[in-house]
Structure 1
Amino acid sequence: MQQTSNFFITKTMESYELKDKDYRSWKPSYGELPMEIIQHIFRFLSFPDVQVAGKTCQRWREASFNTEFSTKNIIRFSKVCLSDRSSPAKDFLMSNRPFRNYHFEEVTFGPIKNIMSHIGNTAEEIIFDNVDVGDKQFYAIMSLLPKIRAITITRCSPLFMSGSFLDNIDDRLSVCINFCRIQDLSLKDNQYLSDAILLRITEMMHSINTLDLSGCHIAYHNAIQRRFYPNDVDVTPSESILTFKFIMSIISMHHQNLRSLNLSNTLISPPSLIALSDLSFKGFLLQNVGLANCRQVNNISLQSFLKKQNKLLTLDLSGTICVNDSCIDVIVKNLPLLQELNISGCINITNNGSSLLGELKYLKSLNVSRCDGIQSEGLTNGVAAKPNATLLYLQMAHLQVCEEAIMVLAQNLPELRVLNLSHCVNGVTDESVQCIIQNLRWLRDLSLENCFRITDVALTGINISQVVLGPNSQNSIDKLHQFSLSSLAEGYISNDSNHSIKISLRSKAEEDIVRDAIRKKAMVATYEMNSIRECDMEGYSIKELQGLKSLYLGGCNKISDVSLKYGLKFVELQNLSLSNCQQISLTGIEQMVHACPSIETLDLSDCESINDKAIQLITVNLTRLRALHINGCSQLTDHTLDAILVNCKNLQTLSIHRCRRIYTDIEDRLSEMSTLRDLEIDNSSNIDNACLLRLKKRLDY
């Protein structure tokens, strides 16, 4: 009996050990997750991340094809010859994904019936930006887009230059059915747009929700209008001029449905703006208004207009110089629902006006960049006067603010997603950046460009004076000690035998350079000896902003490789600018490319320590790289071009000005890159159409 019991216990133990071993060897199979869970995960990812995730297995690939994600994406054809007979049109025809949004930028159209029919099956929004298309071809394209809801035609001079666009009744009938479904219309930056063309387009549309005429040549003055319309009885629209008279008639026609109006960068006059405000009696209430850089508008007309638009959610007045404190007072009192306000470049706004902005309870986005009259008090007594969890986006570049003000902003605006402090030289210091890192953990976009006072301490929290070197670092300590003493003594102490004294002839700037060199030497020594420990990081490291996607440090020339090793560790970082950071070298790049694998745009302009090996590491490890700027990197040679050609499979923009050691014909070498769209080089006009470059080189197209 005892023997049987022992046998049973032994078998039980063996079975338990076997199950325990199986449990420890078990690994989760993420490919077998329910489709709903995979799609829920994808909702938190950017489009490039979804693309990469879709390559892991067949199930995740199917999840990435979900309509929910494809409707948010824009298919962009840029600087190519689009033809059914060649790529990329032939490649796209094989796709069955239902995309909704398309953008054609500087495209030359060939035979495109097949590709446009394919696009027309699902397209709801389309943008034509500086495309080479004639009116007949445009009619043919529009006839193939039965589901279109929004259209943008910008910088398309050949289309409107003749003035005969849609002047034929048969042409209008061919596109009328599709045009009548359009609700959002943008014709911005078209210098040949006329009354006749605008009327022909809009009279086919049943309901206009959005109208964008920004940057168009609109005649507002009565004298000019009378020249083309001498008799009020004669209302035949002119093919030579675009007047506010006809724009007003179109707005009146659609005033019940029109919710967004953009007249930015036009010469809209005070009487015209007052005429718009008078329409409010007919129920003309906008939600989004753009009046940026409207220099002819005066204070009275602007206030009259704003007082009658109490449903506004978005208001852009950037560069409109008449905006002052009284206008801000009108905005605060009459626009209680306002969520986005852009008053950048409004130099007449002072701290008094800025202090009122804290009363906008629903304000999510604020841009006060280049408002010379706004200083520290205007912000600390305004949007940051008390804890504010509503404001998400704050642009305040080129402001004269102090260090304490930035700290108050960081403490009272905890939900910020975007913070732009570019050129805030006085306020952006190591201490204020540390406060930002400590409090703004939701930041996605941080700009500190040309804030040259910050050092590695700001980004790493490392106090170099507290670093304790390891016991095996005596040789390095001696070398560091000798360097520091000799550098500090240089110019002050001479040969003791004759007791002569050298007086330094350095300027203050030169002394700062020497001091920075000594500091960098100390940091590099500790860096090479890996002597920095967690206990030495007394402050906060920028790597704690785990969701950061854009970081701009251009002109912060005291940033060194130490920041790249101990600070920049972002899995989601997509845009990084380190231009004019001369202390960045191969050592830091080697760490950065592994810690930030998702970078798509990288600017290393004027980083003179960057060499071919650094570019090799960048091109091999940053597989998503789309834009690379290496202007003024004087150590780069032809080997850099080799690395770019071999490793960069997605590169679209390359800027290599002032790289004087690159001798080969850059155009010949880079014509092999089928993805390249923008190339900026020396001694040649910028090649902004890579398709023409390939034509010249007799390549595929």
Structure 2
Amino acid sequence: MKRKRTTRNSLKSCSSSESLSQTESIEAFHLPDDCWISIFREIIDGDDDNNLCYLQPLSLASKHFLSITNRLRFSLTISNPTLQYSIPTLFHRFLNLTSLHITIFQGKLNSLLCQISKFPFKLKSLKLSNQTQFPAKGLRALSKTITTVTSFTYLYIDNIDNNDFVLVSHCFPLLEELDMQHNRMCFQGVEVGLKAMLTALPKLRKINLSGYYFINDLLLLYLCNNCEFLEDIIMLKCPLLTRHGIASAIRQRPTLRSLCSYQCGNISSHFIDSLLSLKGLTCLDLSYANISDELFTSIATEDLPWRRLVLQYCNGYSFAGIFSLLSKCRCIQHLDLKKADFLIDHHVVNLSLFLADLVSINLSECCKLTDSALFTLVNKCPLLSDIKMEHTSIGENIVENSNSLLNFVLNPPLKSLYLAHSSLLTDESLIMMASLFPNLQLLDLSNCDNISGEGICQVLTRCCKIRHLNLDYCSGVKLRGMNLEFPKLEVLNLSHTSIDDETLYVISKNCCGLWQLLLESCGNVTNKGVKHVVENCSKLREINLKSCDKVCADIVDSMYTGCSYATFGLKAISLEVAA
């Protein structure tokens, strides 16, 4: 018995020793939370909330990882039909929120803001949009406990008065960015409240007051005189503003870096002189203006630091004028020449000599441009990642010139390509193009009538990184032949197409990573097809079924019960079902 006890004690001691050794081994590989946060941030490429989906597997691995990933969410959007009773749970989970967006919220907005005020958030950005009333009570409560807001956005509110403007400045005296644009023309005069607000916001750097009819030259002058740190002005759809008034006002604010205000008509030398006096101006929008080549030439005599130049729907100038301007503005990163319909492929070849820093370009509605212009830009602009060439002649020459593309250098930075309304684009030309742009993440082919589902499947095979695909109004697309998986596809727009339940079944099996599916006006889709998607696409957050006449309203309940909320999605499903 004694020997047995000794043996038993020895075994117990040995077991304890092994257990201690295992514990020490586990602790030896334990990393502090700060290290895990750094690792996770590398996975999602910084603090970009759009990439949080990549943390879903990690958040499911353990409670510890879940708590860490919760701390990496800094922004949250609340919209109907977000379940109101679940909102406090979200706030308890994401205590590091610095940005909050509340949109189309049909509950009691004042109560929601009061509820938010009880959490220890250090919000820097608050955005309210598409609401029916100004939540004065809620903003007062929130501002008493959250005093860190420096950016306030208040969009598309039906009713606003002088007191509302004053209240904004009282609640958020540290504001640096203010966006209170109106989507419809607002004729209600609130000049008194606006002036009082501007006086009380000494740190304001950026302001957007588009859509207010009453804004005139005197109000703009008041703004420039009273906001000494002002850098960015956006005032679109303000018909009482004149170019002469803008020129006089901006001379009072030499710190301006960006100016955006559409006024049709001629640009005077007085206006140009005022622009040239802004030595720090990096962004200029002259859309809809009448500009002569002589004015461009006079501007080009200066050393211009412009990074963004927008000339949408401008007229009066020619290739000679834009050539002389860009020859001086060699640091342009974002160029918008929409509707410069005099441009031809050879012009683009010449302009590309000055666009080594170009990141994005818009050449939509330049109807004479073909794929030759596209390939020139990609070859000559090594940083180019975003190209818009909608309503052009893309696809006209690509097959005929296929031999000249054999030496084409693949362009890794090109991530977004917009080719909507390219009636000459065929499957053959599209497939050839896709093979040259393997790193595309967004492809917009809406209203391209001559492409088919087979062509699209070939594109997805060659461009396996595509996350956003727009096939709106592509009447020939059905995608029934999709026989490979495309897990990276997150947004798919099939609105106004002839797809049916069979197509949805194929999509649900091969595109399991879908977050957003748009099916507006797809008359052949029924409840059966929708259920296939809901059951197989577990990450789905939004589906649009507006004007799908064969889909019954009772599908809504089954979608809420059938679609599981993944740990990091937390964006409510948006449903628009025909009555």
Same fold (TM over 0.5): yes
Contact 1:142 1:178 in 2 (8 A): no
Matched residues in 2 for 1:276 and 1:201: separation?
A: 19
The answer for the alignment partner of 2:47 in structure 1 is 72
Matched residues in 2 for 1:555 and 1:119: separation?
A: 43
TM superposition shift of 1:258:
2.5
The 5 A counterparts of 1:401-480 are 401-426=317-342, 428-455=343-370, 458-459=373-374
Matched residues in 1 for 2:226 and 2:450: separation?
A: 58
The answer for the alignment partner of 1:368 in structure 2 is 286
Residues 1:182 and 2:97 are matched in the alignment: no
1:97-149 deviation line (CA, Å, top 9, x unaligned): 99xxxxxxxxxxxxxxxx6x5554344x3221424345553334324443333
TM superposition shift of 1:415:
0.9
The answer for the alignment partner of 1:146 in structure 2 is 95
SS in 1 for 2:481: helix
Contact 1:351 1:375 in 2 (8 A): no
Matched residues in 1 for 2:260 and 2:314: separation?
A: 15
TM superposition shift of 1:63:
8.8
TM superposition shift of 1:696:
4.9
The 5 A counterparts of 1:308-327 are 308-327=226-245
Residues 1:342 and 2:180 are matched in the alignment: no
Contact 1:156 1:190 in 2 (8 A): yes
Is the deviation greater in 194-203 or in 684-693? 684-693
Give the AA of the match of 1:570: N
- Structure 1 length normalisation: TM-score? 0.62
Structure 1 residues 73 and 97: CA distance shift in structure 2, 3 A: farther
Residues 1:287 and 2:237 are matched in the alignment: no
The answer for the alignment partner of 1:585 in structure 2 is 426
1:338-382 deviation line (CA, Å, top 9, x unaligned): 122222x3336734465232322111122222x244454554444
The answer for the alignment partner of 2:132 in structure 1 is 191
TM superposition shift of 1:573:
1.0
Contact 1:176 1:204 in 2 (8 A): yes
The answer for the alignment partner of 1:208 in structure 2 is 149
Contact 1:133 1:159 in 2 (8 A): no
Structure 1 residues 663 and 121: CA distance shift in structure 2, 3 A: closer
Give the AA of the match of 1:561: I
Residues 1:648 and 2:565 are matched in the alignment: no
Contact 1:694 1:700 in 2 (8 A): no
1:170-192 deviation line (CA, Å, top 9, x unaligned): x57xx53514x333322233324
Contact 2:379 2:409 in 1 (8 A): yes
SS in 2 for 1:216: coil
Contact 1:358 1:385 in 2 (8 A): no
CA RMSD of aligned residues (A): 3.8
Contact 1:555 1:578 in 2 (8 A): yes
Gaps of 5+ in 1: 1-60, 79-86, 99-114, 221-243, 461-539
The 5 A counterparts of 1:510-521 are none
Matched residues in 1 for 2:151 and 2:377: separation?
A: 45
1:624 aligned to 453, 459, 465, which one? 465
Matched residues in 2 for 1:415 and 1:293: separation?
A: 32
SS in 2 for 1:548: coil
The 5 A counterparts of 1:75-94 are 75=50, 92-94=59-61
TM superposition shift of 1:246:
5.0
TM superposition shift of 1:698:
8.6
SS in 2 for 1:453: coil
The answer for the alignment partner of 1:231 in structure 2 is none
The answer for the alignment partner of 1:549 in structure 2 is 385
Residues 1:675 and 2:528 are matched in the alignment: no
Contact 2:91 2:119 in 1 (8 A): no
Matched residues in 1 for 2:151 and 2:212: separation?
A: 19
The answer for the alignment partner of 1:271 in structure 2 is 192
The 5 A counterparts of 1:224-303 are 244-252=162-170, 254-255=172-173, 257-265=174-182, 269-279=190-200, 284-303=202-221
1:393 aligned to 308, 318, 331, which one? 308
The 5 A counterparts of 1:545-624 are 545-557=381-393, 559-561=396-398, 566=405, 569-624=410-465
Gaps of 5+ in 2: 1-35, 531-540, 545-554, 565-579
Is the deviation greater in 664-673 or in 261-270? 664-673
Contact 2:37 2:68 in 1 (8 A): no
Structure 1 residues 633 and 204: CA distance shift in structure 2, 3 A: closer
SS in 1 for 2:75: strand
The answer for the alignment partner of 1:489 in structure 2 is none
Contact 1:209 1:259 in 2 (8 A): yes
Contact 1:260 1:288 in 2 (8 A): yes
Matched residues in 2 for 1:205 and 1:380: separation?
A: 51
Contact 2:136 2:167 in 1 (8 A): no
Contact 1:557 1:580 in 2 (8 A): no
The answer for the alignment partner of 1:3 in structure 2 is none
Residues 1:328 and 2:270 are matched in the alignment: no
Structure 1 residues 259 and 349: CA distance shift in structure 2, 3 A: farther
Matched residues in 2 for 1:613 and 1:575: separation?
A: 21
Contact 1:128 1:156 in 2 (8 A): no
The answer for the alignment partner of 1:502 in structure 2 is none
The answer for the alignment partner of 2:542 in structure 1 is 689
TM superposition shift of 1:442:
1.4
Tell me which structure has the larger Cα radius of gyration. 1
Aligned positions, number: 492
Matched residues in 2 for 1:608 and 1:247: separation?
A: 48
1:217-271 deviation line (CA, Å, top 9, x unaligned): 4432xxxxxxxxxxxxxxxxxxxxxxx425414514643x322222221656222
- Structure 2 length normalisation: TM-score? 0.74
Matched residues in 2 for 1:199 and 1:372: separation?
A: 43
SS in 1 for 2:155: coil
Give the AA of the match of 1:269: V
Matched residues in 2 for 1:580 and 1:143: separation?
A: 47
TM superposition shift of 1:668:
4.4
TM superposition shift of 1:451:
0.5
Contact 1:560 1:583 in 2 (8 A): no
Is the deviation greater in 646-655 or in 436-445? 646-655
TM superposition shift of 1:440:
0.8
